[in-house]
Structure 1
Amino acid sequence: MNKIIAFLLFFTICISIPVHGQDLLKGNDLKAVVVDDLSDVQIAELQSQLSGKNMTIDQVEPMALSKGMSPSEFSKLRARLQALKPEANVSTGEVSAGDSKDPSVSKKNKLSDSPATIKRSNPQIFGSELFNNAALSFEPNLKLATPLNYTLGPDDELQISVYGVQEFNASLKVSSEGKISIPYVGQISVSGMTIEAATQKIKSAMSKVYSTVASGQSTVTVSLSRIRTIRVTIIGSMQPGNYAVSSLSTVYNALHLAGGPAENGSYRNIELIRNNKIFKSIDIYRFLINGDQSDDVGLKDNDVIRIPIYRNRVKLEGEVKRAGIFEMKGEETFFDLLGFASGFSEEAYTASVNVVQKTDKEYKIKDILSSEFLTYKPLSGDVYKVSKILSRYENRITIEGAVFRPNFYSFFTGMKVSDLVSKAEGIREDAYTKRARIVRVKEDLTTEMVEVDLEKALAGDATANIELKKEDILTIYSLLDFKENFKITIDGEIKKPGTYDYFENLSLNDLLIEAGGLTGAASKKVEIARMLKSEDVDKDGKKRVEVINLEINVQNNEQLENIKLFPFDVINIRKLPVYEHPEMVVIKGEVNYPGKYVLANKEERIYDVITKAGGLTNQANIDGVKIKRPIKAEQIEDLDRIDLNLGKGDSIQKDLTDKVIKLKYATIPVDWQKIKANKNHYSNIMLLPGDEIEVMAYDEAVKISGNVLLTSEIPYRKGKGFNYYLDAVGGLDNKGWKRKSYIIYPNGKAATSSSFLFFRSYPDVEPGSQIVVPAKPESKKMSTAEVVTIASVLTSLAGVIIAILR
């Protein structure tokens, strides 16, 4: 009931809107209006009425609110009106898609009915993609100037302007009788006239009233400000029905709105019926194949587009450029069908095409030869299958091996070995001419090998120069194929040690140069290990290689005695007994001269280096001396090789290795006070290259970290124990594990708590040390089922014990 009341109220508004906005909504109560209950058609009619009176929604607002419409409902109305297509720009004489009352919407006027949402059951039908693509709407361009041959009719609106000495401007609608009424001029009949003819008629009539028009002092212009809507009927489409379209719309525009032909509709024999007669027969294939739009004629009011059922459809699949289902006319042949499919693909077998046809009772297969393509007429229901060409050659022959151009070549009847070698531009210098090979496919598709004396064949011997067959493969061997690929190895104090190719007459000087020359550590001692070869077997079997020791001049890569090498020789350049680069350590922190220091000998110790650095400063913490030693790659490899017997899938060993890799350094605590008292103390360790000595500054604070309530640093107080510092940071959190707490001293040494009987003692706290409280390990609680199981086991066990005791 509310919808009916709202509609009647808005209808009353629309028909009562005057030219002046102050009289809008006069005498109407709009309190009961619910915008959500209005249909899209009602909103469109309201927009059309507002446009006809040259009013905007903003001009309507104060009057609508004054008549009881709520601001929220008016906001909804404004949003729905703005969602429609924009109105025409009357001042320029151009019209947009929204200029007609309902130019391009179906009778249901719903977005869900648009052609883009229509799904066809068989998209293989050629031409269906034209109507499945929303971008191809064929909608007329309403922003172009009005065509001069446009035929006027009722509901068209003309913009007539006179400018110059006299002025006049009016927008006049063509009445249902086909006339326009010009003030002081009278009624002029324009229906059925072109815009060009109507312009001349209007000018002639106005010149009788406006004298300056006749004298040329004023000019008359006539343009189309609003295009009328026409109604067309479409039968046999995906969405048949009556459609309101712009009077500039064409057949293709209407077909697209209706979703194109139905599943069984024809694409070749569409009829445009005008005044109960067939005005035009439309073949969409003309547009699809040739881009010919001659069938896309303009529509008139009450036109009928009839899409009949197809008569002949065939299917083409396989090796064609555009496979699908095609509609055929009676006079068209298979050659025309190929044209619709854009022809064969590159891999198509074109000698004949296989077709599956239907008889009254069953299927039958027929072959269409290429000579019949121009005459064979497809039958409805035919299925044509274009197969691929065979993966074989009708005239191929192959030559490979020691020729200048090994490749495939064309075969001809009577071709001989010498002919094929000539095509390959002859044999190479390394060709083995005593024997060649032909691999031939026999008639039963098995293969055989034919031997050829190549030397005689090339010399013209008719017996050796045998005749070839297609698909023969002629192989010419190379002498290089029979030679072993010899290598030679050089190692030791050479810049590029490795294995190199051996060449005949290769000498030691040649190999030294190829390997980049000797290093500075090379000694004069050189060892050459040479492979033994003998027909006689050594009964003892002890000697495996021959070792040759010699001396060279390390100052020159060119030796006076240029020793000849043999295949598989292994040359070792020995290193000088004493050849070591100076190695350094780093000392930093609280020493007088921090920096890098060279290790003068292999037994230099930490005391010696700190002495070189001027000793400790006054700010140094004598308990904070430590050595950071880099972890070497081989140490990590040794750790990986250790088997902890943890079983498969255990991650402890991997975690241990990863932790070592992350550390990069191993920390060695140093007791400097004892070293000063006794240089032979075990803390005075021998240094290694890369070691880093770190002397910490004196720090009176004690750092507490880990699972405590507050990570902080507490000033050191002499005599205070472990618990004092834990209490100073608020104690442990709920995960803290006090009995596993430990302390790290400034020199890197760590100490843990210990227990005796029921007593636990904690390590002493020193200035600059750090107390760490670890987290308790997570323990899994027993489930109810586990508790019940254990209880039942204990109960059974108790029963057994009682039974025994009885």
Structure 2
Amino acid sequence: MRLTKSILTILLVCFAVSLANAQNISDIDFKNIRVDDLSDQQIQRIYDAAQSRNLSIDQAVQMAVARGLPQSQASKLKRRLQQVGSGGALDSESAEGVSGQLRRPVATEGPDSTKFDSLYAQTDSLRWARQQLKNKIFGYKLFTSDQVTFEPALNIPTPEDYQLGPGDEIIIDIWGAAQMNYQLEISPEGTINIDNIGPIQVNGLTVEEASNRLRSRLGDIYSGLNPPNNENKDTYMQLSLGQVRSIKVTVLGEATVPGTYTLSSLSTVFNALYAAGGPTTTGSFRTINVIRGNETVATFDLYDLLIYGNQSENIRLRSQDIIQIQPYENRVEIEGEVKRPGIYELKGNETLQDLVVYAGNFTDEAYTDRIKVIGNTPKQKQITDVKKGYYDDYILRNGDSVTVGEILDRFTNKVEIRGAVFRPGEYALEDTTSLYSLIQRADGLMGDAFMNRGIIYRTRDDYTIESISFSVRELMQNPRANDIVLQKDDVVRISSIFDLREDFTVSIKGPVQQPDTYEFAHGMTLEDLIFMADGFLQSATPYRIEVARRIRDIEERSGNESFIADIHTFSVDENLRLNEKGANFELQPFDQVYIRELPNYERQKEVYVVGEVKYPGKYAISSRDERLSDMIERAGGLTPDAYTDGATLFRKREFTQQEAQQTTNGAENGMGAAVEEGEQVRLAQRQESAQIGIELPEVLQNPGSRYDLLLEEGDSLLIPQQLETVTVEGGVFHPTTVRFESGRSFKDYITAAGGFNDLARKKRSYIIYANGDVDRTKKILFFKNYPSVEPGATIVVPEEEPTEGMSAAERIGILSTVASTMAVIATTIIRITNN
């Protein structure tokens, strides 16, 4: 088995190599080709080889068949060659409509190129139209699908009516009193030769006839095979087919690939049609003649096979049979609500009903009372509405178009009930002709039904809606007197009392585990609501709970119209249990319960100390007046590497647009740097924390002074190591980070970054120190006072928005206008002078 696989692999590799190197179509081994396994490049090489010999596609395929290409692969090879020739994924007939040759005319550049472009644009439209036509013709896709093949089955029991001929191999098995096996091939003369018997003529005999003849002749040497008395029979014989012969069949007429095909002798008419690619778009699927000699022995109707599965005319072929596909005579198209819309071929006196059967009958949504037929007259079109009952009598003509409409999306007997009934929904009018019977059909009213009023929405003849109101209470108490007759499409609505009022809720706020809004329930007490909120938190006050109740009526205001809420106050004991009054206090809809916090209750508040301290990390604020100096002391003090001038404090806060504007205004008034508009936006978008500049040396020297800030929750104190660089960014030629050197000025660092560029706003330059402080360039009389530079600082040079210069055309236009104006002025002066 492994040796067989290895040999097969070597053969395939050799075939691929020979195909890749083939320059002549005669060098290609077509016997082992499977077209579906060939790559596009290999098909291109076959195409190029055929093109070099000026062969048409049909001629190339016929040569391939002559060199051993199986007929089942011939139509596939032709389709793929045509795809290459047309430059796209075209099927066989589309490419045929363009050209029967492999070469496509190409127009060189010149006056004829436009004509060629127009020609091929029209060709593309024609291809598309033909493809659409093929997709509609019933049965056409059967012959164009690459996913299935229709080849005769060879591993089947020997057919009794199979006629033997030269080339067939027959197997004779004898068993019983004698054991023998003969495996014989029928000679060209139609005989087989058996030892001790001689030649026996079997040509033209069926398997059954040949079996009887051989049984008679073999009885001469096997006495137990045909004894005078059947009771003495002790030897038996069976005849079967081995290898079957090949036959030549010619397919003519409206075939996709007409020609002579070599097929198995077990092949039928359908096998030959598939090998030839089936009928063309003009070929008949229903009149396919099988000509044997000078006689038509069968007329094959593909519809019998495709629709009914009837193979009575799908006869087995013989050598030299001719299959002739006639042009179609009568085609009609059916669309709409049928299961297989498309183009169908009718013959004889087949009617509209036959067409519906061919199309798979109506769909579930089909309007079957009337079918529209559009046909042709000698001068113009006409439309016919064929009523139900006349489908069997209406004979269709060639070119007719049949449309099956869709039923209307409405009901003839529907009524509907909605709302507070146990089974709302749609009901048949026949079973519920009145309002009361519809309510009973819906299993009656629910307990929350609004009894004062219900409404019937009725559709009038002009499709406007009218409203009919009724008393649900009176209807249920006396249905005989108050019942209403229903009409189709009536919609009955009976509301729930809950639909007609606001949702009743109560809410609880403050230090409870689940503060929220809850659905109100009658009899709910204050203690129930606290239970629903999962109880108090530890921060809840032990002596004050407030309930705010809406005042709906003026009388409830006790004569004071300024009251907007009624406040009830309750106490709890040290174990947070309500007293008897509070526990039993019943709530009303929309009550709001407020739980207060203990006055001196505080959660732990944390700050962060990061950087050059002995014990960095998180710390809890111990008192309300704890300051920076206290926290540094708790952190073990500063390390020797601490850079106190660069220390900064980050504080969590909402840095709003208004605060950003205030910061900008303060900077321009001398309290900080002038911040550009872009910087304002950047500051306004900082939502997590704000950097606060601090003077840590002053803090350490004067604890408790104004420099020693009080701590807040979330503060982060950063004390960096000694900084040694200065960053320059913005309107300089080379933004960079420069090594800090004592004695270098502001402008020295600008120079180190390449100097100011053309867009730099020098007067607006400012510096951001490591601790977050900002200072700007100031102008005193004619002198600029640049701020001092410290380690870790960032120098920012704002830039102007770049402006576009005038184009050459704009300059010429301005100069032309100026020159014209000057000429007019000069002319005017000359005229005045002359006068």
Q: TM-score, normalised by structure 1?
A: 0.68
Measured in 2, the distance between the counterparts of 1:250 and 1:733 equals 94
Give the CA deviation at 1:573: 3.2
Measured in 2, the distance between the counterparts of 1:643 and 1:594 equals 31
The structure-2 alpha-carbon separation of the partners of 1:753 and 1:291, relative to structure 1 and needing over 3 Å to count, comes to farther
Measured in 2, the distance between the counterparts of 1:174 and 1:662 equals 99
| Secondary structure of the corresponding residue to residue 268 of structure 1 | strand
Give the CA deviation at 1:152: 6.0
Measured in 1, the distance between the counterparts of 2:683 and 2:163 equals 88
Say yes or no: does 1:112 pair with 2:131: no
Supply the AA of the counterpart residue of 1:623: D
Structure 1: state its 5+ residue gaps.
Answer: 1-33, 52-75, 82-95, 159-171, 205-220, 646-651
- List per-residue Cα deviations over 1:96-143 (Å, max 9, x = no partner): 999836645379968434893434362322122223323344345799
Give the CA deviation at 1:770: 6.0
The residue number in structure 1 matching 2:550 is 531
Measured in 2, the distance between the counterparts of 1:140 and 1:644 equals 92
Say yes or no: does 1:348 pair with 2:369: no
Say yes or no: does 1:635 pair with 2:655: yes
Supply the AA of the counterpart residue of 2:330: N
Measured in 2, the distance between the counterparts of 1:259 and 1:731 equals 80
- List per-residue Cα deviations over 1:686-738 (Å, max 9, x = no partner): 32221111222235566778877796664x554455677778x7956989969
The residue number in structure 2 matching 1:511 is 529
Supply the AA of the counterpart residue of 1:548: I
Measured in 2, the distance between the counterparts of 1:421 and 1:349 equals 34
Measured in 2, the distance between the counterparts of 1:591 and 1:306 equals 104
Q: Which moved more, 1:188-197 or 1:111-120?
A: 188-197
The residue number in structure 2 matching 1:232 is 250
**Residues 400 and 406 in structure 1, CA contact (< 8 A), matched pair in contact too:** yes
The structure-2 alpha-carbon separation of the partners of 1:730 and 1:622, relative to structure 1 and needing over 3 Å to count, comes to closer
**Residues 554 and 561 in structure 2, CA contact (< 8 A), matched pair in contact too:** no
Report percent identity of matched pairs.
32
**Residues 232 and 301 in structure 1, CA contact (< 8 A), matched pair in contact too:** no
**Residues 550 and 566 in structure 2, CA contact (< 8 A), matched pair in contact too:** no
| Secondary structure of the corresponding residue to residue 607 of structure 2 | strand
Measured in 2, the distance between the counterparts of 1:101 and 1:461 equals 88
Measured in 1, the distance between the counterparts of 2:706 and 2:405 equals 90
Give the CA deviation at 1:460: 5.9
The structure-2 alpha-carbon separation of the partners of 1:348 and 1:717, relative to structure 1 and needing over 3 Å to count, comes to closer
Q: Which moved more, 1:694-703 or 1:735-744?
A: 735-744
The residue number in structure 2 matching 1:129 is 141
- List per-residue Cα deviations over 1:308-354 (Å, max 9, x = no partner): 23333333222111112222233544443222111211111233433
**Residues 30 and 68 in structure 2, CA contact (< 8 A), matched pair in contact too:** no
Alignment of 1:333-482 (within 5 A): 333-358=351-376, 365-374=383-392, 376-412=394-430, 415-433=433-451, 436-441=454-459, 448-450=466-468, 452=470, 454=472, 457-458=475-476, 462-482=480-500
Supply the AA of the counterpart residue of 1:313: R
Supply the AA of the counterpart residue of 2:91: A
The structure-2 alpha-carbon separation of the partners of 1:304 and 1:106, relative to structure 1 and needing over 3 Å to count, comes to farther
Give the CA deviation at 1:671: 2.6
Measured in 1, the distance between the counterparts of 2:488 and 2:761 equals 91
Out of 283, 297, 317, the residue aligned to residue 265 of structure 1 is: 283
The residue number in structure 2 matching 1:21 is none
Alignment of 1:633-712 (within 5 A): 634-636=654-656, 638=658, 656-657=680-681, 661=685, 664-679=688-703, 681-700=705-724
| Secondary structure of the corresponding residue to residue 307 of structure 1 | strand
Instruction: Tell me how many residue pairs correspond in the alignment.
Output: 680
| Secondary structure of the corresponding residue to residue 440 of structure 2 | helix
**Residues 693 and 771 in structure 2, CA contact (< 8 A), matched pair in contact too:** yes
| Secondary structure of the corresponding residue to residue 299 of structure 2 | strand
Alignment of 1:9-20 (within 5 A): none
The residue number in structure 2 matching 1:619 is 641
**Residues 191 and 202 in structure 2, CA contact (< 8 A), matched pair in contact too:** yes
Measured in 2, the distance between the counterparts of 1:360 and 1:222 equals 59
The residue number in structure 1 matching 2:259 is 242
| Secondary structure of the corresponding residue to residue 438 of structure 2 | helix
Measured in 1, the distance between the counterparts of 2:49 and 2:550 equals 98
Say yes or no: does 1:43 pair with 2:60: no
Measured in 1, the distance between the counterparts of 2:789 and 2:502 equals 76
**Residues 708 and 736 in structure 1, CA contact (< 8 A), matched pair in contact too:** no
Give the CA deviation at 1:591: 1.6
Supply the AA of the counterpart residue of 2:611: G
The residue number in structure 1 matching 2:273 is 255
Measured in 2, the distance between the counterparts of 1:785 and 1:750 equals 47
Say yes or no: does 1:318 pair with 2:336: yes
| Secondary structure of the corresponding residue to residue 480 of structure 2 | coil
**Residues 454 and 464 in structure 1, CA contact (< 8 A), matched pair in contact too:** no
Give the CA deviation at 1:583: 1.5
Structure 2: state its 5+ residue gaps.
Answer: 1-19, 34-44, 51-63, 84-89, 95-129, 171-183, 218-239, 666-675
CA RMSD of aligned residues (A): 5.4
Alignment of 1:722-801 (within 5 A): 745-749=769-773, 763-767=787-791, 778=802, 780-788=804-812
Measured in 2, the distance between the counterparts of 1:534 and 1:284 equals 88
Alignment of 1:199-210 (within 5 A): none
The structure-2 alpha-carbon separation of the partners of 1:616 and 1:143, relative to structure 1 and needing over 3 Å to count, comes to farther
Q: TM-score, normalised by structure 2?
A: 0.66
**Residues 397 and 472 in structure 1, CA contact (< 8 A), matched pair in contact too:** yes
**Residues 146 and 224 in structure 1, CA contact (< 8 A), matched pair in contact too:** no
Q: Which moved more, 1:417-426 or 1:789-798?
A: 789-798
Measured in 2, the distance between the counterparts of 1:712 and 1:195 equals 103
The structure with the largest helix share of the pair is: 2
Supply the AA of the counterpart residue of 2:604: P
Supply the AA of the counterpart residue of 2:362: F
**Residues 233 and 304 in structure 1, CA contact (< 8 A), matched pair in contact too:** yes
Alignment of 1:146-157 (within 5 A): none
**Residues 608 and 717 in structure 2, CA contact (< 8 A), matched pair in contact too:** yes
| Secondary structure of the corresponding residue to residue 617 of structure 1 | coil
Alignment of 1:290-301 (within 5 A): 290-292=308-310, 295-301=313-319
Say yes or no: does 1:550 pair with 2:569: yes
Say yes or no: does 1:580 pair with 2:549: no
Supply the AA of the counterpart residue of 1:545: I
Supply the AA of the counterpart residue of 1:118: E
| Secondary structure of the corresponding residue to residue 251 of structure 2 | strand
Measured in 2, the distance between the counterparts of 1:455 and 1:269 equals 76
Measured in 2, the distance between the counterparts of 1:452 and 1:264 equals 70
The residue number in structure 2 matching 1:65 is none
The structure-2 alpha-carbon separation of the partners of 1:769 and 1:482, relative to structure 1 and needing over 3 Å to count, comes to closer
**Residues 247 and 300 in structure 1, CA contact (< 8 A), matched pair in contact too:** no
The structure-2 alpha-carbon separation of the partners of 1:546 and 1:289, relative to structure 1 and needing over 3 Å to count, comes to same
The residue number in structure 2 matching 1:9 is none
The residue number in structure 2 matching 1:559 is 579
Give the CA deviation at 1:539: 13
**Residues 118 and 132 in structure 1, CA contact (< 8 A), matched pair in contact too:** no
Measured in 2, the distance between the counterparts of 1:35 and 1:473 equals 80
Alignment of 1:53-202 (within 5 A): 100=68, 103=71, 104-105=73-74, 111-113=80-82, 116-119=91-94, 120=130, 122=133, 123-139=135-151
Measured in 2, the distance between the counterparts of 1:738 and 1:444 equals 76
Measured in 2, the distance between the counterparts of 1:309 and 1:388 equals 34
| Secondary structure of the corresponding residue to residue 463 of structure 1 | helix
**Residues 627 and 692 in structure 1, CA contact (< 8 A), matched pair in contact too:** yes
The residue number in structure 2 matching 1:93 is none
